[in-house]
Structures are given as C-alpha cells and as structure tokens.
C-alpha cells in the first residue's frame, strides 16, 4: 500500500505542469485575444464606475484608488457628485456594480501582469465617454432614473458578446479567467433583466431591448468553422 507521502508526491507531480501553464501566456491565438479582451473589459468597467457614481453619489470619504471596497469611491479624473438617482433600487444596483467592477478591474490587471507582464491602467474609450455624457446631462430624479436604466442596460449588453467569446475561446489552462467571465455574464444578464422590469414598472416601457431591432440576428460571425492558428 502506498504511503500518504508517496500519494502526495504523485499528485504534486501531476498538478505541477498544469499550475505552471496556468501562469503562462495563452497559446497561439488565445494570447492576443486575452490581452485585448482584458484591456477592453478594464476600460468598459472604468466607465461604469463613473456611471454608477453619478447614480448613487460620491462617497468622498473613500480613496480615489481603484480598490475592492463597498460603495461609490471617487472615480479617478472626475469631480465628486451628489446622487442623481432617486430610486432606492437603482442606487443599490449602482453601489453593487461599482464595487463588483472595481474588483473585476483589479483581477484583470493581475492576470495581465502575471501572464503577460503588462501593467495596464484604465482609460475611457469613446463609447464610455458617450454614456457618461448622457447621464451627466440628465436632470436629477425621474429623467436620470429613466436614462440610467437604458444607458446602463446597453452598457452591460455591449460586453455580452466579448464575454461569451472569453468563455469559449480563452486559453484552456486559464480557468480563472473563464470563471471570471462566467460571473460577469450571469451578473450582468440578471442586472439587465432587473432594469428592463424597472423600466416597465416605473415608466411603462414594456418592450425595452438593449439593442436595435434585429441586429443580434444579423451579425457576421465569420467562418462557419470558427478559427485557430492552423485554419486553412
């Protein structure tokens, strides 16, 4: 009968290469995809920090550093703002997303450092600036509540296709990244459903969709075989 020590050595030897691979860059096409996906997601989430801060108001007692803390910390590069939302459910949603997306930004930054040696800092892209501008112009109260539910639903939806690609096309050893993407997918789908229901309840909008018409049914998804580095 093998000793516990012998069994432990066998297990360690079996798991060793897998752990080493999990800390390495992605193989083939997955490397470039992962880097671009994580940088895009960090920037996407960065704009959400300001959107949710506008909704729930700035907690000026908190640090401007991106950190995994509850509440709406001041977004780097923006002035503090009072809450523009007046619905408790909306402000709760905003505070929860502010915390979650700070945590996800830090996780993606860590993956980029550990796997690719990249120290990536968030930046605002044009779509994020546009969404923020809509909410900055909105009047506090009902006008803001309405526009936030629509703009934030759309903001969530814009990440769905990239997150689906993350779950199905990341490096096979990067299970932590896939797990992170699954969490984002489930939480953001649930949020969109909640916001669609709130648009119906608060504003009588019964058919809100975070896309236009039949767009999701008409997309060009490339080759019917998918893709890989040896694809002919």
Domain at 135, CATH number: 1.20.1260.10
* DSSP 8-state code for residue 35: H
Residue 189 maps to a domain: yes
Residue 158 maps to a domain: yes
pLDDT of 69 over the 80 cut: no
The least confident of 94-108, 182-196, 201-215 is 201-215
Please state the rounded mean pLDDT for residues 127-150. Answer: 96
Mean pLDDT of all residues belonging to the chain: 85
Residue 199 maps to a domain: yes
pLDDT in tens, 157-204: 999 999 999 999 999 999 999 999 999 999 999 999 999 999 999 999
Please state the rounded mean pLDDT for residues 77-83. Answer: 88
Chain mean position to CA 78? 20
Residue 19 maps to a domain: no
Residues 6+ apart with CB under 8 A from 19: none
Q: Quick check: pTM over 0.85?
A: no
Give me the pLDDT at residue 78, please.
86
Residue 89 maps to a domain: yes
Identify the domain containing residue 155 by its residue range: 27-213
Count of domains in the chain?
Answer: 1
Residue 149 maps to a domain: yes
C-alpha to C-alpha distance for 216 and 209, rounded to whole angstroms: 11
Confidence of residue 221 (pLDDT cuts 50, 70, 90): low
Give me the pLDDT at residue 2, please.
46
C-alpha to C-alpha distance for 153 and 58, rounded to whole angstroms: 21
Chain mean position to CA 142? 27
pLDDT in tens, 139-150: 999 999 999 999
């Amino acid at each position: 009968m093998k000793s516990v020590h012998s069994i432990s050595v066998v297990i360690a030897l079996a798991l060793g290469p897998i752990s080493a691979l999990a800390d390495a860059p992605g193989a083939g096409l997955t490397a470039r995809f992962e880097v671009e996906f994580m940088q895009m997601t960090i920037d996407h989430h960065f704009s959400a920090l300001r959107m949710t801060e506008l909704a729930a108001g700035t907690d000026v007692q908190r640090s401007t550093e991106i950190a995994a803390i509850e509440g709406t910390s001041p977004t780097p590069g923006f002035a503090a703002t009072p809450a523009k939302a007046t619905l408790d459910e909306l402000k709760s949603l905003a505070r929860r997303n502010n915390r979650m997306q700070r945590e996800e930004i830090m996780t993606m930054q860590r993956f980029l450092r550990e796997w690719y040696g990249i120290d990536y800092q968030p930046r605002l892209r044009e779509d994020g600036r546009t969404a923020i501008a809509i909410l900055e112009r909105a009047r506090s109260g009902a006008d803001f509540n309405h526009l936030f539910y629509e703009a934030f639903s759309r903001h969530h939806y814009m990440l769905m296709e990239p997150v689906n690609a993350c779950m199905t096309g990341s490096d096979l050893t990067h299970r932590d990244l896939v797990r992170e993407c699954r969490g984002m997918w489930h939480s953001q789908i649930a949020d969109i459903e909640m916001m669609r229901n709130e648009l119906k309840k608060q504003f009588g909008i019964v058919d809100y969709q975070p896309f236009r018409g039949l767009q999701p049914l008409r997309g060009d998804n490339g080759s019917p075989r998918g893709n890989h580095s040896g694809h002919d």
